[in-house]
Structure 1
């Protein structure tokens, strides 16, 4: 990872001035360094910033590990020079007053860097015999930083070379004939005679194997100097979390950069572009000497030289339509890369315009997106293209299209890198990517037409390539996955500094669109599509949208609360328990529907879903025809099916016959969006409502048209008895639905007595919904739901950068004191007092991690007893996070 390869990873010790610390953090981030906060020394640290020698864990451990220990001026002066300066002039010198004495910090650093030793305590096998667990942990980390082998248990069978202890009795050490030392021996070993000058109040008497010296500032003082304080104030906690968020956002940006090939595509452009005559190339093209023309172009390319766009269009036309040989096709792609390398698009509107001229279909002239879309559709074979192309495409033509798509990806990646590293100007005119996917009216939304089409093509390509053994198909799928990721992250980079809420809404809208595209996919295919979303943010919101659609399709109403960790471990976990009680759904052929991922129906077409299959089965025998009511497939001008009409007229017998037909969509909508349940509630068809509630477990009670739900419809038309039936089935969530005027169902009721009666009916529904389910009735379906929920859970932890006890190299140290402050927070109180919504969300997520036990205890017994692999995995993930929270609170883990 980039983080691990960074040569500038900082910690600080003893810097108490907040203003100075902010300056240092700004300088570190500005120059591309990484900062680790907290009081514990991190192994990955390369530089420790101090003002003077300190009896702190980080100072002693950094010396033992041979790390750079520098003064704050190293960062500040480097910031002024806009580049990291050599560290040597800024290295802390403990022997500045006695130049003839070697500086121990420099000595140990040089010995480690040249490989003489791996650390100051190399070959030590140490037994740390200290009762105080905090002090013991400090010295264990210090010794391990110096590459000692450390034990804390006397029962070890290793040959111990040193016993480090704070005890005065040495009976056990003498009995075992093991050298026995005070804690101050660690400092004596590191700093030698300089230790006496450090003013750490050491009593440095000479001692051998059985001698000791009492360090006045012992391990307790070491831990005291490491910013370990009492419980934090909310203001301090907010600042800590904001600092962590800034660091993690910077790391995300770093992961979007690709410095290796970016430097390759960054030439030294001349002040004045050289003049090159391409008339000879034009003559070669006119004489159909296409390979020779490409050779001439390759020989002429240099920074600032761009062949005439019409000339390249002719060469592309030959590549796409002619009988071009593999060598020509390869050379053509090489020319495109060479032009890009010598004339990068970022920061140059002229170069951007040029690439739009050459990267388009030579016949249609529809722009870059049209060419990319056509290229993908050609490979998919069955898809329509902008105009007729050679069919079937040759193997060489397939390779050309794959290489062309990879070129587009490279171009987009370079522009994302430039935007992420601050090299790209704010103007969208200097970006090929931005102008490819968004026109001037779409730039404020992520879900432009081109982005929607790209998402659709990605899903089709993933499904097309999933079972293929052809490498080029898999390669093409990966290219489109990367392309969508680059596109959405580029848009987020453009808008995040201005409006973070707009960015989140954009990702949610695109996720909803992808979820609709996936609504009919079986779980096996979803397991391919969701991981194919390389953007963690998009993958998170898509998994969320799919899970909510699953719940809605099975008749569960989920509140529209913002996505957070509490929503997942509370609301969504509770919904999963409720789904355990759902019976399997019958498919068109009467078989058990193993997985139903269907979105609430949005059909506006003139047929009932599955009608073709029903017709086929009905046509097979007379008995089959008798089961289909007359007019079943007839849809009127308003989009109303026979099901709508039967509910309008309260024709319950017709309704029951329709429901008996396999594949009937009980939630089908007419052209206005009304469902059969809406019609029954609007017209007071009580018997039809009873039949729908009794025979349709997946009836969507929360479906809304302009905010009007079936409960709204019933109350608006004075059918209170129907509203009560719906509330006894759906519970209080139905009373929280608002219409377009912001009115809930209770707002439509003027009589207090009726309002109280509706509330009682809703309470009855809540009790029925909350009744624990003892067994899973549809295991394959619950396995599918558990997989989606696991995907959402892991994507959320990754995207929100939630640190845990075992999180490696995290710059946020969650000490027990910090955890106590988080636990005391009241839900919802931070939004009104903290200015940063991201810090509020992180604090509430961390509080959820620390309080996870109370939510895990509410898990449905059916889930705990379920033997499905995906369900057991999700339960295990929750239990692991719960154990992480407990470890953070106590400061120790059962696995330590």
Structure 2
């Protein structure tokens, strides 16, 4: 702030220190370039209250009262900038580094420039290697320190010496550590540890709680009325075909700890499956099994009780286990002849409802097991023993011993396939009263929650892969379902964790039908905003009479690492796509560059077009440094590649920045005017508003007036094209379905994996969200997460960065005009969710002030 008369001044923004400033306005001590440089130069560093109170006073107030200070934990207060300011003001020194002749050896150019500005602010003379022969170097400062940096005839220091020199006389630990990849080595490992604890605590909560099972009795605490029961006459009645009488004989003899012979129940089930049983007998048998489950729940008993239920609940004729029994019941309800053995046909309504009731009964068994495994930790705060889960009916039914490390086992894949078939029957209005799809949906939710609870603490990568495989498989299996059915499937999921998987699968399904490809990187808030939101435009512009596209592919939809290939209508594998895959497509080099990056660097447009034609190509994929293919093409002057990328749908994101460098910055910094004009013709004048780390907008990089005029004309062309872009929704039902699914997806993601929220000012110093915002305001995402191994923690930081960008309006152009103008209910609701995200980001930013 440079004062220029009564209550007048000039604001100088940006993150870079400018020597012309007289005052730095900052709420508290900060390990930033501007603070340290102002301290070294002897400038006034005051709090924002200085400006506020001066406005109230009507004139600038004396600064000492508002000078930034640090409490030492007692009544003493330390002013970190005062000693240098007083020395400079009295003329004893010109700066904190007066007389220093520094040989600065820093590899990163941008970091070297920052160190140079800081040292020069303190009046040091800075030289690069090798220094002039007539200069006597007093300090060598290197990052990193090597044998070469120590070979000069001067003391060699790490860059931390700058901070140590500024505050060495304070006898106060300000916790300024040295940053691993830049100016200050701030140790963010503790932040990663805190995020890990946050994730474990949040993910460990059971999503499905069945408190009704708290009243079930332990079968090994016998009921007082239990007596010895003679079942010999029951066998005789069954042999004589008196099934109803035999069932009545044992109904009154069911007590906790007393189980009738399994052979009798098997006979009852076999009689029911033959189709000759009366509706009264079927109802009585279901009631008897329900009572047996209440009095002798298998999840509370020992292995003998579980074996009893496994023996009873299987096909009485084939005896292949519980899952084939359940599959047969489902297929009979669907009038599907592909059962383990022929059943009475056509399907009898009474037998259909009996099979549905048996499925509901088995679902209750699995819910009880999940409750038993998770309730101990939920109610008492301690984990349940793993032995109880390893021998559970859930594992025995849906996973073999060799499949337990994958969510998508053979039985789970069959259940997912039957679920989509059942949904198309139930939710299409043909027989919704059966509610079979709801039962299967609840069953799959239990399986997802159970498998997750067993693995999330042991192997996060395994869990991510399991969820990704299931999502892709569900998307593949639901290709023939209508958008309305897909929405109902997601609406009726009770588990927020499974709803996240299901919503992702169904949204990807809709995008595939409209020809829009989505990347296969892990789900994150950034992906939802930068990739899923623009995809709504493709849904809106898909003609309503256009045939749905097929060929949804998956890179890993089969568990255990098996590939899922496309199949034609005859079920035969096709190798067409495999033949079209360019060599080296999935190879990533040491810099994290994909074949797409490398093709853009070399202007190999044929290879680029071949990659873009493949399904699931992520046009915005980033390398380890954060650069996208568009960045590389703009940097290397690959004009044809830029043209191909801009014509691709979905179009690449034009406002991605790495270290403040956008694709437009990249093109202009390297003198590629033709590429810069193409970018502006697609993105309009909004691209001019982006600033780099030095606070420069793209036009600041062009000195020639003629070139500036050319860029302005190109931006006008882009603005006109954006204004005239079609806003008519050609397929409102598809857009409404997509908006509903995306709303579910964003909401479920925030519930399941969302970053920590803001807190009250009194607790903000200990709040994790506050710490994340502070870290991102001072450092880039790459600097904060450098060296982190926990990818969930990395995505949390990335999510906070996305919220902050939304609060600044940086991604407002990602919503297609047709979607913005749509007044339909689901689309308007989605727009409100986006507004809530923006407000959430503003709340995080408000914590800083």
Q: Tell whether the structures are fold-level matches, with TM greater than 0.5.
A: yes
Pick from 390, 399, 403: which aligns with 1:438? 399
Measured after TM superposition, the shift of residue 565 of structure 1 is 0.6
Q: Is the 8 A contact 1:522 1:597 kept in 2?
A: no
Q: Distance in 2 between matches of 1:867 and 1:542?
A: 25
Whether 1:261 and 2:216 are equivalent positions in the alignment is no
Q: Is the 8 A contact 2:373 2:388 kept in 1?
A: no
* Secondary structure of the corresponding residue to residue 421 of structure 1: helix
Q: Distance in 2 between matches of 1:719 and 1:841?
A: 32
Q: Distance in 2 between matches of 1:257 and 1:784?
A: 29
Measured after TM superposition, the shift of residue 719 of structure 1 is 13
1:507 — aligned with what?
A: 467
Measured after TM superposition, the shift of residue 796 of structure 1 is 1.1
Write the mapping of 1:178-217 to structure 2, written as runs, cut at 5 A.
Answer: none
CA distance 1:386–1:795, change in 2 (3 Å)? same
Write the mapping of 1:164-243 to structure 2, written as runs, cut at 5 A.
Answer: 234=188, 237-238=191-192, 241-243=195-197
Measured after TM superposition, the shift of residue 432 of structure 1 is 1.3
Pick from 270, 282, 291: which aligns with 1:338? 291
Q: Is the 8 A contact 2:318 2:341 kept in 1?
A: yes
Measured after TM superposition, the shift of residue 243 of structure 1 is 4.9
1:123 — aligned with what?
A: none
2:359 — aligned with what?
A: 405
Whether 1:867 and 2:822 are equivalent positions in the alignment is yes
TM-score between the two structures when normalised by the length of structure 1: 0.54
Pick from 315, 318, 340: which aligns with 1:361? 315
CA distance 1:823–1:265, change in 2 (3 Å)? farther
2:437 — aligned with what?
A: 477
Pick from 741, 755, 763: which aligns with 2:642? 763
Q: Distance in 2 between matches of 1:672 and 1:469?
A: 38
CA distance 1:509–1:533, change in 2 (3 Å)? farther
1:304 — aligned with what?
A: 257
1:858 — aligned with what?
A: 813
* Secondary structure of the corresponding residue to residue 779 of structure 1: coil
Relative to structure 2, which stretch is displaced further, 452-461 or 858-867?
858-867
* Secondary structure of the corresponding residue to residue 851 of structure 1: helix
Relative to structure 2, which stretch is displaced further, 354-363 or 329-338?
329-338
* Secondary structure of the corresponding residue to residue 533 of structure 2: helix
Measured after TM superposition, the shift of residue 297 of structure 1 is 1.8
CA-based RMSD of the aligned residues comes to 4.8
Q: Distance in 2 between matches of 1:380 and 1:823?
A: 57
Q: Distance in 2 between matches of 1:300 and 1:371?
A: 27
CA distance 1:721–1:409, change in 2 (3 Å)? closer
Q: Distance in 2 between matches of 1:706 and 1:386?
A: 47
**1:159-205: CA deviation from partner (whole Å, max 9, x where unpaired):** xxxxxxxxxxxxxxxxxxxxxxxxxxxxxxxxxxxxxxxxxxxxxxx
Measured after TM superposition, the shift of residue 880 of structure 1 is 1.7
Measured after TM superposition, the shift of residue 336 of structure 1 is 2.0
Q: Distance in 2 between matches of 1:834 and 1:723?
A: 34
Q: Distance in 1 between matches of 2:417 and 2:434?
A: 17
Q: Is the 8 A contact 1:412 1:486 kept in 2?
A: yes
Q: Is the 8 A contact 1:823 1:850 kept in 2?
A: no
Measured after TM superposition, the shift of residue 466 of structure 1 is 1.8
Q: Distance in 2 between matches of 1:467 and 1:560?
A: 30
Pick from 836, 843, 856: which aligns with 2:797? 843
CA distance 1:877–1:754, change in 2 (3 Å)? closer
Q: Distance in 2 between matches of 1:734 and 1:819?
A: 28
Q: Distance in 2 between matches of 1:382 and 1:597?
A: 25
* Secondary structure of the corresponding residue to residue 814 of structure 2: coil
Q: Is the 8 A contact 2:728 2:818 kept in 1?
A: no
TM-score between the two structures when normalised by the length of structure 2: 0.56
2:332 — aligned with what?
A: 378
Whether 1:530 and 2:490 are equivalent positions in the alignment is yes
Q: Distance in 1 between matches of 2:848 and 2:249?
A: 69
Whether 1:396 and 2:299 are equivalent positions in the alignment is no
Q: Distance in 1 between matches of 2:222 and 2:519?
A: 60
Whether 1:779 and 2:730 are equivalent positions in the alignment is yes
Q: Any unmatched runs of 5+ in structure 1?
A: 1-133, 135-229, 586-590, 610-638, 640-669, 683-701, 739-744, 747-752
Measured after TM superposition, the shift of residue 604 of structure 1 is 3.8
Q: Distance in 2 between matches of 1:726 and 1:758?
A: 20
Q: Is the 8 A contact 1:370 1:386 kept in 2?
A: yes
* Secondary structure of the corresponding residue to residue 387 of structure 2: coil
Q: Is the 8 A contact 2:399 2:411 kept in 1?
A: yes
Q: Is the 8 A contact 1:584 1:777 kept in 2?
A: no
Q: Distance in 2 between matches of 1:381 and 1:814?
A: 55
Measured after TM superposition, the shift of residue 417 of structure 1 is 0.6
Pick from 605, 611, 614: which aligns with 2:568? 605
Q: Distance in 1 between matches of 2:588 and 2:416?
A: 28
1:674 — aligned with what?
A: 577
Q: Is the 8 A contact 2:472 2:505 kept in 1?
A: yes
Measured after TM superposition, the shift of residue 412 of structure 1 is 0.4
Relative to structure 2, which stretch is displaced further, 430-439 or 884-893?
884-893
Pick from 253, 258, 281: which aligns with 1:328? 281
1:789 — aligned with what?
A: 742
Measured after TM superposition, the shift of residue 849 of structure 1 is 2.0
CA distance 1:711–1:567, change in 2 (3 Å)? closer
Whether 1:295 and 2:248 are equivalent positions in the alignment is yes
Relative to structure 2, which stretch is displaced further, 271-280 or 356-365?
271-280
Pick from 401, 408, 412: which aligns with 1:447? 408
Measured after TM superposition, the shift of residue 322 of structure 1 is 4.8
2:707 — aligned with what?
A: none
Write the mapping of 1:605-644 to structure 2, written as runs, cut at 5 A.
Answer: 605=568
Q: Distance in 2 between matches of 1:403 and 1:558?
A: 40
* Secondary structure of the corresponding residue to residue 405 of structure 2: coil
Q: Is the 8 A contact 2:758 2:770 kept in 1?
A: no
CA distance 1:482–1:734, change in 2 (3 Å)? closer
Q: Is the 8 A contact 2:740 2:827 kept in 1?
A: yes
Q: Any unmatched runs of 5+ in structure 2?
A: 1-48, 50-175, 177-185, 377-383, 555-564, 623-627, 653-681, 684-721
**1:271-321: CA deviation from partner (whole Å, max 9, x where unpaired):** 999864321221221222222322322232223322222221111112222
Q: Distance in 2 between matches of 1:336 and 1:727?
A: 57
Pick from 840, 843, 846: which aligns with 1:887? 843
Whether 1:415 and 2:369 are equivalent positions in the alignment is yes
Write the mapping of 1:681-720 to structure 2, written as runs, cut at 5 A.
Answer: none
Whether 1:284 and 2:230 are equivalent positions in the alignment is no
Pick from 449, 453, 478: which aligns with 1:493? 453
* Secondary structure of the corresponding residue to residue 461 of structure 2: helix
Q: Is the 8 A contact 2:605 2:640 kept in 1?
A: no
Q: Is the 8 A contact 2:188 2:785 kept in 1?
A: no
* Secondary structure of the corresponding residue to residue 426 of structure 1: helix
